[in-house]
């Protein structure tokens, strides 16, 4: 298990004009929408002299675009969040296997595709938050969220949310399909409201009193520590948090990752870019710039992330989790998780 220590309406596709291909370019198709990533790209150019060109949009839109472009696609690198989308891209034939000793050495084996088509570069833990003024005994495991004692208390996102899909797929991996189905039904029975909004909205639900317990990724909460987030930061002392399963598998982690496009016209530069994302400087920026956990072990955490405390992370192989994504979706549909 990994131990994280303090020391250590749809969005329209935005097209960026791409200049003629040259040895000094790399073309990114990215669904990461964080302004702080600008520093990652500018630093890469400063270090290598390679110009970064970007097309940004939702993950599914980018994948559909790459598929439509086929062998003529200008994409060198696909960057997206969560294992489910990385697997989907691989299954669509949009990524190619690469050989990089740097990535093999620096990225833990469980955070990379078994066939080397994608690699994780930053992590978020999907954990339990609660109202510390009304909840004396918060859930300490994911399975506890289905306990009838929490009926009418839980806020969580919809079944279409990729983070929830991967969490349930991980539960299938660890506990089996039958136990995962029982869990999903129990969570539905305990919902305080129909699923709605993003992760920050689940935290706002605790502040507003709409729910006593919520599930969210850590970086949404850490962001509210670092800067003002409407509806959360002003009342952040009201929100407690639990890293689940500390006596078992550990807290679930999901990834932001990337892979080299199947028809990359600048393959060597694409590999250089991925290797740069595994560098200590880039890894530190994932934490400092977006309140995430580095994928590379031993990299220092941002102060906002340190404040969440040390915890044991689930080190399940995410390729195995990805294989259970279809089962997770089947379970969501069967239990009526909207």
Look at residue 331 and tell me whether its pLDDT is greater than 90.
yes
Residue 66 tokens, joined:
């790459």
Q: 62 with 31: CB under 8 angstroms?
A: yes
Cα gap 108→224, rounded to integer Å: 29
The DSSP H or E segment spanning 313 is strand 311-313
At residue 140, does pLDDT exceed 80? yes
Q: What is the mean pLDDT of residues 222-250?
A: 97
Q: Specify the pLDDT at position 23.
A: 57
The CA distance from 211 to 222, in Å, is 20
Q: Count other Cβ atoms within 10 Å, centred on residue 218.
A: 26
Average confidence (pLDDT) over 141-160: 98
Phi, psi angle pair for 261, to nearest 5°: -60, 150
Would you state the CATH architecture of domain 2-122+253-309?
3-Layer(aba) Sandwich (3.40)
CATH 3.40.190.10 domain locations along the chain: 2-122+253-309, 124-251+323-335
| Mean pLDDT, residues 281-302 taken together | 94
**What are the pLDDT digits (tens) for 52-95?**
999 999 999 999 999 999 999 999 999 998 899 999 999 999 99
When pLDDT is averaged across residues 283-292 and rounded to a whole number, the result is 93
Helix (H, G, I), strand (E, B) or coil at 79: strand
Q: What is the mean pLDDT of residues 312-335?
A: 96
- Mean pLDDT in residue range 298-307: 95
Residue 36 confidence (pLDDT): 73
Query: What is the tens place of the pLDDT at every residue in 7-36?
Result: 433 333 344 444 444 459 999 999 987 777
CA pair distance 298, 5, nearest whole angstrom? 9
Q: What stretch of H or E contains 180?
A: helix 177-190
pLDDT (0 to 100) of residue 1: 54
Q: 37 falls in which pLDDT band (50, 70, 90)?
A: confident
Instruction: Work out the average pLDDT over 269-282.
Output: 97
Per-residue pLDDT, averaged over 266-292, amounts to 96
- Thinking of the domain 124-251+323-335, which architecture would CATH place it in? 3-Layer(aba) Sandwich (3.40)
């Amino acid at each position: 298990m990994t131990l994280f220590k303090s020391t250590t309406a749809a969005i329209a596709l935005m097209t960026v004009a791409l200049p003629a291909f040259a040895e000094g370019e790399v073309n990114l198709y990215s669904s990461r929408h964080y302004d702080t990533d600008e520093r990652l790209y500018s630093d890469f150019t400063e270090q290598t002299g390679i110009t970064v060109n970007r097309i940004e949009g939702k993950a599914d839109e980018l994948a559909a675009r790459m598929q439509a472009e086929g062998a003529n696609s200008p994409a060198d690198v696909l960057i997206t969040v969560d294992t489910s989308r990385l697997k989907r891209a691989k299954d669509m034939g949009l990524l190619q296997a690469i050989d990089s000793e740097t990535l093999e050495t620096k990225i833990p084996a469980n955070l990379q595709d078994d066939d080397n088509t994608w690699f994780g570069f930053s992590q978020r833990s999907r954990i339990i938050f609660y109202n510390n003024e009304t909840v004396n005994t918060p859930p300490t495991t994911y399975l506890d969220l289905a306990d009838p004692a929490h009926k009418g208390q839980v806020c969580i996102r919809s079944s279409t949310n990729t983070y929830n899909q991967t969490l349930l797929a991980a539960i299938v991996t660890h506990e089996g399909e039958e136990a995962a189905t029982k869990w999903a039904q129990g969570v539905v029975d305990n919902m305080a409201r129909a699923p709605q909004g993003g992760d920050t909205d689940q935290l706002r639900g605790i502040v507003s009193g709409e729910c006593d317990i919520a599930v969210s990724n850590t970086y949404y909460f850490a962001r509210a520590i670092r800067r003002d987030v409407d509806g959360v930061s002003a009342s952040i002392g009201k929100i407690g948090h639990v890293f689940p399963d500390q006596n078992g598998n550990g807290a679930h982690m999901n990834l932001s990752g990337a892979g080299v496009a199947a028809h990359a016209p600048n393959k060597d530069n694409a590999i250089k870019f991925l290797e740069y994302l595994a560098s200590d400087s880039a890894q530190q920026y994932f934490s400092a710039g977006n309140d995430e956990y580095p994928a590379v072990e031993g990299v220092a955490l941002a102060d906002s992330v340190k404040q969440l405390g040390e915890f044991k992370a689930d080190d399940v192989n995410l390729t195995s989790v990805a294989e259970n994504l279809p089962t997770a979706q089947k379970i969501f549909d069967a239990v009526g998780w909207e």
